[in-house]
A and B are shown apart, each in its own frame.
Chain A
Amino acid sequence: MEDSQIIKIENLIKRFPMGKGEFTALNGIGLTFIQGEFTGIVGPSGSGKTTLLNIIGSLDVPSSGSVTVLGRSVGDLGAKEAAKLRKENLGFIFQSYNLFAVHTVYENVEFPLLLLKYSSADRRRMVLDALEWVGLTDKIKSKPPQLSGGECQRVAIARAMVKKPSLVLADEPTANLDADNSHNILKTMEKLNRELKTSFLFATHDDKVISYLRRKIFLIDGRVDKDIVISN
């Protein structure tokens, strides 16, 4: 593995049971990703982009083929090892934010650091830094139901970024946002990508997101159709 390579996918096949038969969601995917990419897996609904993201995020396992994330083969990881990989190295951003409604903004962002057993002082510093990145330092005591959709997604970004993971997986992060908020969110993520060298991998079919991507992988019916790298 090259030093900068963080994901290596070889002949990935993922099948799901459907009725009496099986549905092939991913069919022979082969890709590599290097550190610091700002990449999107682009395709229509049902093309397999979320499935691919879930496997890379060790939330699911391949039916065959191999997926190596940060040097660890996802298919061979036990539940505890997969949880450790997610806890230490991966950040997730979801379409519907998935924030904890009863916790404040501060507590939501603090959560990954609690799992990593950081000291209270370190947690405070890191949470405030993360909230500053997304411009929400004035909302630390608010709870998600009191925030707008754009603010919620910024909290989700802060939560994903607070531990400075190697890779952030974002599944349709702008799907529930209007155009202004979408651009704000994307600019924030792009800035974090450049400043912190965190890799971002999107699953999206939103043109606004696509316009920000430096690499676009088009998936159709579970196969890679095009892999376009945009030079700066």
Chain B
Amino acid sequence: MKLAIKLAFKNLIGAGLRTWLNVIVLSFSFVIIIAARGILVGWDRQAKNDMTDWEIGGGQYWNVHYDPYDAFTLNDAHSPVPEKFISEIEANDMVPVLITQGTIYPEGRMQSILIKGIKPDQTLLELPTHKLDTLVGATPAIIGSNMARTNKLKTGDYVTIRWRDTNGTFDATDICITGIFTTNVPTVDVAQVWIPLDSLQSMLLMPGEATILTYRDREKAREGTADWKVMSFEDLVKDIEAMIKTKSVGQSIFYTILLLLALLAVFDTQVLSIFRRQREIGTYVALGYTRGEVVSLFTVEGAMHAIFAAVAGAIYGIPLLMLLAKKGITLGMSSSDYGFAIADTMYPVYSTGLVIGTTLAVLLATAIVSYWPSRKIAKMNPTEALRGKLQ
């Protein structure tokens, strides 16, 4: 095998431009696959980090009636915060949030929103709730930048909101925008208004009640109660994982096509080699190689394209991928356009497993497409091959 590797190396270098064209195309596959998969890994990590920071903490308790995909459940999705959680809430390790449907009337228009009540002194989530702890001429409220943009609201603006209390009675009041925050998590931004928990509880006539309880400690064992079910961190990121998996499948199709094109070039070269180098094949046999050993030699030669490509890819790919990881990739769309947590600029993450796994996969695929045409050598007549006669 050592001799086959040495010969294959010599033959590939000797083949000149043909080798380098294949190597360059194959190296593109390496770099693009690693870059694309790195973006997905980075996205997954960033999305989970942002969701942890802004929305789900280490996990949540949901009122048993709460369904985030069905706004009608909000009428019933509230109950008193259990006594056993009070100490955690006071220690800022748990944040109760009360949610109701409502309507906002910016500049005379009407838009359905979710009104969320949260404690202004909480520090568990990144939301700048301290801006709710202020005295203004109306209920203080904070909104996300997407909500501000779509409703043309800015800090200091007064706007009317309307809701129905626990008895079903419509009521309305003005809120004052005391803060606008920017986040990558659209589920705390789009069509949402955050006001102090006490205010919302009294507006809804639901003192001491909440819809969800977000806790900090992900590791602590949790049990549900009659009114509250536990939603672990893993449960809460299931949607984003499913979305990334879907994207991953789509992306796999793209880079499979790219890889196939590169492998086709290697396959083509192998076929051409076997036709053009019949005399050489015959000479190997005459000098003492078995035909099987010549097949191995040609397979190693083809597979070595992938090794060269890995080296070439590393030469320009490592600086390029490091630059991408540092500068990130800026998307032209806002996170809210996607409907799930995605940063305006994504930072790819390249793990050792990703790089080694991709390299081995490409190497294996190249070895297979190299072996395929090389099998023909095993059927060659060495005397005809020595004369260079096409078989």
Q: Could you list which residues of chain A lie within 8 angstroms of chain B, going by C-beta atoms?
A: 50-51, 54, 57, 59-60, 79-80, 83-84, 86-88, 92, 94, 96, 98, 100-103, 107, 111-112, 114-116, 159
Q: Which residue of A lies closest to B388 (CB)?
A: A96
Query: Quick check: A98 and B10 within 8 Å, CB to CB?
Result: no
Pick the residue among A60, A94, A115 that contacts B289 (CB under 8 A): A115
Query: Quick check: B290 and A83 within 8 Å, CB to CB?
Result: yes
In the complex, B291 has a CB within 8 A of chain A: yes
Contacts beyond the supplied A103-B10, A116-B288: 9 A-B pairs with Cβ under 8 Å: A51-B383, A59-B285, A79-B291, A92-B283, A98-B280, A102-B10, A102-B13, A111-B287, A115-B288
The CA-CA distance from A60 to B384 in the complex, in Å, is: 10
In the complex, B386 has a CB within 8 A of chain A: yes
**A-B contacts, 7 listed (Cβ < 8 Å):** A59-B285, A98-B286, A100-B10, A101-B14, A103-B14, A107-B10, A112-B287
Query: Quick check: A59 and B280 within 8 Å, CB to CB?
Result: no
Q: What A residues does B116 contact at CB under 8 A? A: none
Shortest C-beta distance, A100 to chain B (Å), equals 7
Q: What B residues does A103 contact at CB under 8 A? A: 10, 14
Q: B1-37 toward A: CB 8 Å interface, digit per residue (1/0)?
A: 0010010001101110000000000000000000000
Q: What A residues does B78 contact at CB under 8 A? A: none
Q: Which residue of B lies closest to A95 (CB)?
A: B387
Given contacts A59-B285, A59-B386, contact A96 B279 (CB under 8 A): yes
Shortest C-beta distance, A91 to chain B (Å), equals 9
The CA-CA distance from A93 to B10 in the complex, in Å, is: 23
Q: What A residues does B282 contact at CB under 8 A? A: 98
Q: What B residues does A116 contact at CB under 8 A? A: 288
Query: Quick check: A92 and B287 within 8 Å, CB to CB?
Result: yes
Pick the residue among A86, A98, A111 that contacts B386 (CB under 8 A): A98
Q: What A residues does B13 contact at CB under 8 A? A: 102
In the complex, B382 has a CB within 8 A of chain A: yes
Q: Which residue of A lies closest to B13 (CB)?
A: A102
Q: What B residues does A50 contact at CB under 8 A? A: 383
B interface secondary structure, majority: helix
Q: B264-306 toward A: CB 8 Å interface, digit per residue (1/0)?
A: 0000000000000001101101111111110000000000000
Q: Which residue of B lies closest to A54 (CB)?
A: B383
Shortest C-beta distance, B147 to chain A (Å), equals 68
Q: What A residues does B287 contact at CB under 8 A? A: 86-87, 92, 111-112, 115, 159
The CA-CA distance from A108 to B388 in the complex, in Å, is: 19
Q: What B residues does A60 contact at CB under 8 A? A: 381-383
Given contacts A83-B289, A83-B290, A102-B10, contact A59 B383 (CB under 8 A): yes
Q: What B residues does A115 contact at CB under 8 A? A: 3, 287-289
Query: Quick check: B290 and A80 within 8 Å, CB to CB?
Result: yes
Query: Quick check: A57 and B292 within 8 Å, CB to CB?
Result: no
The CA-CA distance from A107 to B10 in the complex, in Å, is: 10
Query: Quick check: A84 and B288 within 8 Å, CB to CB?
Result: yes
Shortest C-beta distance, B109 to chain A (Å), equals 76
Q: What B residues does A111 contact at CB under 8 A? A: 287
Q: What A residues does B6 contact at CB under 8 A? A: 114
Query: Quick check: A92 and B10 within 8 Å, CB to CB?
Result: no
Enumerate B368-391 residues with CB–CB distance to A below 8 Å: 381-383, 386, 388
Shortest C-beta distance, A174 to chain B (Å), equals 17
Pick the residue among B14, B15, B286, B291 that contacts A86 (CB under 8 A): B286
A-B pairs, top 3 by smallest CB distance, nearest first, are A102-B14, A87-B288, A98-B283
Q: What A residues does B10 contact at CB under 8 A? A: 100, 102-103, 107
The CA-CA distance from A16 to B276 in the complex, in Å, is: 25
